[in-house]
Structure 1
Amino acid sequence: MRLPPVLRQQAKSCAALGSPFMARLLTALADHWPAETPLGRLCEGWEDVDLGAGGASLPLRIAGGLHALVLQGADPELAAVYPPQTPTEADLIATVLAALERHAEFFADWMQTAPQTNEVRRAAVLIAAAHQIAARHPLPFTVSELGASGGLNLMFDRFALETRAGRLGPDAPALTLTPDWDGPFPVPAALDLATRRGVDLNPLAPRRPEDALRLSAYLWADQPHRLALTRAAMAAQPADGALVDRGDAIDWLAPRLESPTPGRLHLIYHTIAWQYFPAEVQARGRALIEAAGARATDTSPLAWLSMEHDGGKGAAVTLRLWPGDLTLPLGRADFHGRWVAWTAAALPPA
């Protein structure tokens, strides 16, 4: 069977990211995988070679579907073995397997869409970097997010970052992020996000109930703080429509870079998204951004901020700035924003 080893690998990843319930759930499914069921046959015949996190992410699709049933109140028996309850392993797996059978039609549909989250805690990096950029370039920002999902982090200027090292953000924030912080803390600067848009191949509109459910279901049931932050970020979304367009990230970005607005800094950023772009798309995007950087001026500077996996602990946080084409390592951050190790006390003067 193809899926049990992938379930076990995902269980280890979830344990490392602070979710013992997900580790327990996925391990139990691996040990008792119902191969001779519609869901079992669907997964066994899945066309992707990689069924895990680097490909189809079938374990997360299954877990997300189960959590969606709990959040909707669609299966009280299943909810009775979900956190904060602590059932025996026998009761947990028996109830989960029964739920998979009861909701076979639901899972046949749910499994067709890839997992999608919008990890709000990654905005800690955006807040810190934006304050440092604004201190160097006290200009209004045009913001473009690549791989924006539901666009929750496009509202980062309305979030507060509060740590033992210091605080950034508005006095009455939509939510407050509290990562473990190590290293120098940015000096507060005035943030003015004049315009903000994002792009995603499958954008979600958080004010639509079905999209809000999907964004919530892929959070892990024993991490209610993530769900609370996500709901607060959803509530901060503009009531007049979503901030994210559907499309290829680089095709979408190209016209936004053609005619820079004088007196504005254009901030392009992505958090754990670029690494999923095909190599050809990455190359095209890099060339496009570098060409725009070569045209940048002191009155219309360009900033490219990335938080991406590079093989080290957590994700590397890197900033490129034009004019001048400076590449500045800012630090590292946990993939889910639980900790930040910042190294940039301040950016070099413009």
Structure 2
Amino acid sequence: MSNHIRDDFARQALACELLGSPFNARVCRLLGERLNDTSSFGARVLGWQGHPQNDALPLRAAGGFHALKRQGDDVLIAAYPPNEVDDEALWRALEKAIARHDAFLTRFLDSAPQTNEVSRSSAILGGMLHVAARTGLPLGVYEIGASAGLNLGFDAYGYELGNARWGDAASAVQIVSEWQGTLPPLHAELRVASRKGSDLNPLDASDAALCERLLSYIWPDQTARLARIEAALAATARAGTVIEKADAADWVERAFAGKGESGKARVLMHTIMWQYLPDATQARIEAAMAKAGEGATKDAPLAWLSVEQDEKDKVSASVRLRMWPEGTDEELGRADFHGRWVRWG
């Protein structure tokens, strides 16, 4: 394996450890150390055309094995949680899976992972409450990189934010975040008047095959996370959320062209997707939002809420809120990439 690909598997293994998945860390580490080019799958991984880190190559590879396990592969079932095996037994299971399902695993590398991590909604909720409190208006929410649209339904979930609660306690989707620092304005009247989303590869939450692919990217030893996302998929399917297939810049330019509707605050949001956009796409979105901001008024304000990795801290995301016509730009807090904790204020 070329050194840069080996290094990316090692980095992803460390990230999995930090994010609470020692099992997926082992899968990534073993693939990075032992995979060879005698299979089509191995040859494609080792000769990856593109940037393995930006393309999330280790997670594509690991997701393929989890998909096979979920489909009933007996060898992988015996080696995957809740069963416990040593590294040698786990590697033998991975090797057998490659031999038996080489074509499937090779094809599985075609698409980037889409976990649509619903626990990030805790940070989204915090930002949206600030927008609602500051504007006093219902919100028109627009999401890029929406995948299946799970986070677009953030206001229908129940939340435990440290010692505070918000939302529907009876919802099948309950999001528990360790909340540090000040709380957002939990008593603000939060009304979502409309919600729209786009993605280059949108997933239909009512399509069982697509949902199964999404679930394969959830790390196998994180059973609570898996159950939460399954519940969110079911809720999204019932809500009939439709995500438009579109380039992010094209969609933002269309969605935010012209002045906003009087009596509604438009909000662009996205979580852990900005890093995957080409520089030119990022620049077009920045320009489109700046132009839309110029036309924003107190009665038709504009907000941009993002939960994205930055250079300040490699183990958390910046929760950033920009608002117009005020022209403010602030970091509301930091959040764990999977929403396990939020540090506010």
TM bin (shorter chain): over 0.9
Give the whole-Å Cα distance in 1 for the aligned partners of 2:329 and 2:23. 40
Alignment-mate amino acid for residue 321 of structure 1: M
2:149 pairs with 1:135:
no
Q: CA 1:131–1:240 in 2, change beyond 3 Å: closer, same or farther?
A: closer
Alignment-mate amino acid for residue 236 of structure 2: Q
Alignment-mate amino acid for residue 130 of structure 2: Q
Tell me, yes or no, if the aligned pair for 2:41 and 2:103 is still in contact at 8 Å: no
Instruction: Quote the offset at 1:85 in angstroms.
Output: 0.7
2:27 paired residue among 25, 28, 31 = 25
Alignment-mate amino acid for residue 111 of structure 2: T
Please say which of residues 18-27 and 237-246 is displaced more in the overlay: 237-246
Aligned runs of 1:230-241 on 2, under 5 Å? 230-239=229-238, 241=240
Tell me, yes or no, if the aligned pair for 1:165 and 1:184 is still in contact at 8 Å: no
Task: Provide, for residues 279-333 of structure 1, a one-character-per-residue CA deviation record: whole Å limited to 9, x for no partner.
Answer: 1111111111111111111111111111111122311111111111111220111
Tell me, yes or no, if the aligned pair for 1:142 and 1:193 is still in contact at 8 Å: yes
Give the whole-Å Cα distance in 2 for the aligned partners of 1:145 and 1:240. 16
Please say which of residues 148-157 and 169-178 is displaced more in the overlay: 169-178
Alignment-mate amino acid for residue 68 of structure 1: A
Give the whole-Å Cα distance in 2 for the aligned partners of 1:276 and 1:39. 24
SS in 2 for 1:179: strand
Give the whole-Å Cα distance in 2 for the aligned partners of 1:293 and 1:124. 26
Task: Provide, for residues 24-72 of structure 1, a one-character-per-residue CA deviation record: whole Å limited to 9, x for no partner.
Answer: 1222223321321221122233221x22x22x32221111011011112
Q: CA 1:38–1:178 in 2, change beyond 3 Å: closer, same or farther?
A: same
Instruction: Quote the offset at 1:135 in angstroms.
Output: 1.6
2:202 pairs with 1:203:
yes
Alignment-mate amino acid for residue 268 of structure 1: L
Q: CA 1:186–1:107 in 2, change beyond 3 Å: closer, same or farther?
A: same
Where does residue 334 of structure 2 map in the other structure?
332
Give the whole-Å Cα distance in 2 for the aligned partners of 1:174 and 1:322. 35
Alignment-mate amino acid for residue 6 of structure 1: D
Where does residue 189 of structure 2 map in the other structure?
190
Task: Provide, for residues 212-258 of structure 1, a one-character-per-residue CA deviation record: whole Å limited to 9, x for no partner.
Answer: 01210111001111111101111111447442111111211222222
Where does residue 68 of structure 1 map in the other structure?
67
Alignment-mate amino acid for residue 142 of structure 1: G
Where does residue 347 of structure 1 map in the other structure?
none
Alignment-mate amino acid for residue 39 of structure 2: T
Aligned runs of 1:273-288 on 2, under 5 Å? 273-288=273-288
Aligned runs of 1:54-93 on 2, under 5 Å? 54=54, 56-73=55-72, 75-93=73-91
Instruction: Quote the offset at 1:259 in angstroms.
Output: 4.2
Alignment-mate amino acid for residue 178 of structure 2: D
Where does residue 45 of structure 2 map in the other structure?
43
Instruction: Quote the offset at 1:86 in angstroms.
Output: 0.6
Tell me, yes or no, if the aligned pair for 1:7 and 1:26 is still in contact at 8 Å: yes
Alignment-mate amino acid for residue 324 of structure 2: W
| Count of aligned pairs between the two proteins | 339
Tell me, yes or no, if the aligned pair for 2:162 and 2:180 is still in contact at 8 Å: no
SS in 2 for 1:144: strand
1:144 paired residue among 132, 142, 145 = 142
Instruction: Quote the offset at 1:162 in angstroms.
Output: 0.8
Tell me, yes or no, if the aligned pair for 1:34 and 1:97 is still in contact at 8 Å: no
Give the whole-Å Cα distance in 2 for the aligned partners of 1:137 and 1:316. 22
Tell me, yes or no, if the aligned pair for 1:158 and 1:174 is still in contact at 8 Å: no
Where does residue 13 of structure 1 map in the other structure?
15
Aligned runs of 1:234-253 on 2, under 5 Å? 234-239=233-238, 241-253=240-252
SS in 2 for 1:142: strand
Please say which of residues 77-86 and 307-316 is displaced more in the overlay: 307-316
Where does residue 158 of structure 1 map in the other structure?
156
Alignment-mate amino acid for residue 308 of structure 2: E
Q: CA 1:4–1:286 in 2, change beyond 3 Å: closer, same or farther?
A: closer
SS in 2 for 1:298: coil
Percent identical residues: 41
SS in 2 for 1:197: strand
SS in 2 for 1:287: helix
Consecutive unaligned residues in structure 1, runs of 5 or more: 344-350
Give the whole-Å Cα distance in 2 for the aligned partners of 1:106 and 1:122. 31
Instruction: Quote the offset at 1:127 in angstroms.
Output: 0.9
Q: CA 1:165–1:183 in 2, change beyond 3 Å: closer, same or farther?
A: farther
TM-score (norm: length of structure 1): 0.92
Alignment-mate amino acid for residue 88 of structure 2: A
Consecutive unaligned residues in structure 2, runs of 5 or more: none
Instruction: Quote the offset at 1:201 in angstroms.
Output: 0.8
